[in-house]
C-alpha cells in the first residue's frame, strides 16, 4: 500500500494515519513530525525550517522534497508507506511522481479528508500531542484517560507552538492557496478518495478502510 493522506490542518490526518499504518503495517511518514524532530535536535534543516513553521507558512519545497526522497527509499518502505503532510504543493507532487517513476512504483490511493474551515481552528487549538510516541489527543473530542498524560506511555502532553488561533488561520489559508490544488491533481490520476472528516474519529476510520478495501 502506497498512500497519501491530504487535508487541511486539523482535519485529522495524523489521527487517521495512526490507524491506517497499524492495519497495513507500513511506516507513517509525516513531514511535519520529521521537521519537528530536526528542530528538537537543532540540525541545520531544523534551524532553517523553524522560522517558516512558526509563521505557519510552508518550508521551501527543495528542503522537504529532499527528506522525503531519502525516507521513501529506506528498507522499511519496501512494502509501502503512508505520506502525511506531503506533498503540499503541486511542485512537491510533480517531484514525488518523478521519484516514484524512477523507483518503478505507483501510488495506490490518495485519501482526501474534507472538513469545513470553521471546525478546523477549534480542533487544532485543542490538540495535544505526546512528544515520545507521537500520539495525538484533543482536550474536547479525544481526551486522554488522565488529564494531560499520554495513555500509551505516561508522558506529559504538550501543545504545538503553531497551534495558536492566529497561526492555524494562516495555515488554513496556506492550505487553500497552495495545497488544495492537489485534489484536482490526484483526481485526474484517478487516485482520490473523498472522506467526510466532520464525522467522529471511528466513523472517519471506517470510511477510509472501506475506500482502501475497494
Ligand atoms: P492533522 O494531522 O490533519 O493536522 P490531527 O489528526 O492532529 O490533524 O487532528 C487535529 C485535532 O483534532 C486533534 O486534536 C485530534 O484529536 C482531533 N480530531 C481528529 N479527528 C477528529 C474527528 N473526526 N472529530 C473530532 N476531533 C478530531
Ligand atoms: P504539520 O505537522 O503537517 O501540520 O506541519 C507543520 C508545519 O511544517 C507546516 O505548517 C509547514 O510549515 C511545515 N511542513 C510540513 N510538511 C511540509 C511540506 N510538505 N512542505 C512544506 N512545509 C511543510
Ligand atoms: Zn505517548
Pocket test for ligand 1, best of 4, 7, 9, 10 (most atoms within 8 A of CB): 10
- What is the predicted pLDDT for the residue at 166? 96
Atom index in ligand 2 nearest the CA of residue 52 equals 12
Instruction: Examine residue 52 and state whether it is found in any structural domain, yes or no.
Output: yes
Q: Tell which residue, 107, 109, 108, 111, has the closest CA to residue 85.
A: 111
Specify the CATH number for the domain of residue 187. 3.40.50.300
The answer to whether residues 10 and 168 touch, using CB atoms and an 8 Å cutoff, is yes
Grid cell in block for residue 142: 479525544
**Into how many domains does the chain fold?**
1
Q: Tell me the ligand closest to 136's alpha carbon.
A: 1
DSSP single-letter state for residue 74: S
Instruction: Examine residue 154 and state whether it is found in any structural domain, yes or no.
Output: no
- What is the predicted pLDDT for the residue at 214? 82
Q: Tell which residue, 47, 50, 89, has the closest CA to residue 68.
A: 89
Could you report the per-residue pLDDT of 165-178, keeping only the tens digit for each?
999 999 999 999 99
Percent of the chain past pLDDT 90, that is, above it, reads 97
Q: Residue 95 and residue 147: Cα distance in Å, rounded?
A: 43
Instruction: Examine residue 196 and state whether it is found in any structural domain, yes or no.
Output: yes
Instruction: Examine residue 69 and state whether it is found in any structural domain, yes or no.
Output: yes
Burial 85-124 (b: 16+ CB within 10 A, else e): bbbbbeebbebbeeeeeeeeeebebbbbbebeeeebbebb
Instruction: Examine residue 172 and state whether it is found in any structural domain, yes or no.
Output: no
pTM of the prediction? 0.97
Positions marked active-site: 13, 88, 127, 160, 171
> How many angstroms is it from 137 CA to the middle of ligand 2?
19
Instruction: Examine residue 209 and state whether it is found in any structural domain, yes or no.
Output: yes
The answer to whether residues 32 and 88 touch, using CB atoms and an 8 Å cutoff, is no
> How many angstroms is it from 136 CA to the middle of ligand 1?
8
Pocket test for ligand 2, best of 59, 96, 174, 178 (most atoms within 8 A of CB): 59
Is the pLDDT confidence value at 193 over 90?
Answer: yes
Q: Residue 43 and residue 37: Cα distance in Å, rounded?
A: 9
Could you report the per-residue pLDDT of 12-53, keeping only the tens digit for each?
999 999 999 999 999 999 999 999 999 999 999 999 999 999
- What is the predicted pLDDT for the residue at 95? 98
Instruction: Examine residue 66 and state whether it is found in any structural domain, yes or no.
Output: yes
The answer to whether the CB of 31 is under 6 A from ligand 2 is yes
Pocket test for ligand 2, best of 28, 53, 68, 131 (most atoms within 8 A of CB): 53
Q: Residue 153 and residue 120: Cα distance in Å, rounded?
A: 28
Provide the domain limits for residue 92. Answer: 2-116+177-213
DSSP single-letter state for residue 94: H
Sign of CA pseudo-dihedral 143, 149, 150, 154 = negative
> How many angstroms is it from 36 CA to the middle of ligand 3?
16
The answer to whether the CB of 10 is under 6 A from ligand 2 is no
DSSP single-letter state for residue 156: B
- What is the predicted pLDDT for the residue at 118? 87
Instruction: Examine residue 168 and state whether it is found in any structural domain, yes or no.
Output: no
The answer to whether the CB of 14 is under 6 A from ligand 2 is no
Amino acid at each position: 500500500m502506497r498512500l497519501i493522506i491530504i487535508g487541511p490542518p486539523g482535519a485529522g490526518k495524523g489521527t487517521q494515519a495512526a490507524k491506517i499504518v497499524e492495519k497495513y503495517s507500513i511506516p507513517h511518514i509525516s513531514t511535519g513530525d520529521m521537521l519537528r524532530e530536526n528542530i528538537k535536535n537543532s540540525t541545520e534543516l531544523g534551524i532553517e525550517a523553524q522560522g517558516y513553521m512558526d509563521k505557519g507558512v510552508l518550508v521551501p519545497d527543495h528542503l522537504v522534497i529532499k527528506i522525503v526522497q531519502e525516507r521513501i527509499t529506506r528498507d522499511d518502505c519496501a512494502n509501502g508507506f503512508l505520506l502525511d503532510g506531503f506533498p503540499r504543493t503541486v511542485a512537491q507532487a510533480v517531484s514525488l511522481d518523478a521519484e516514484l517513476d524512477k523507483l518503478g512504483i505507483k501510488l495506490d490511493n490518495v485519501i482526501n479528508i474534507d472538513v469545513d474551515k470553521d471546525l478546523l481552528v477549534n480542533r487544532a487549538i485543542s490538540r495535544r500531542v505526546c512528544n515520545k510516541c507521537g500520539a495525538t489527543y484533543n482536550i474536547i473530542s479525544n481526551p486522554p484517560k488522565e488529564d494531560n498524560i499520554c495513555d500509551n506511555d505516561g508522558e506529559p502532553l504538550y501543545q504545538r507552538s503553531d497551534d495558536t488561533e492566529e497561526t492555524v488561520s494562516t495555515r488554513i489559508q496556506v492550505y487553500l492557496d497552495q495545497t488544495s490544488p492537489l485534489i484536482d491533481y490526484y483526481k485526474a490520476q484517478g487516485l482520490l478518495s473523498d472522506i467526510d472528516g466532520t464525522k467522529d474519529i471511528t466513523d472517519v476510520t471506517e470510511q477510509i478502510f472501506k475506500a482502501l478495501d475497494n
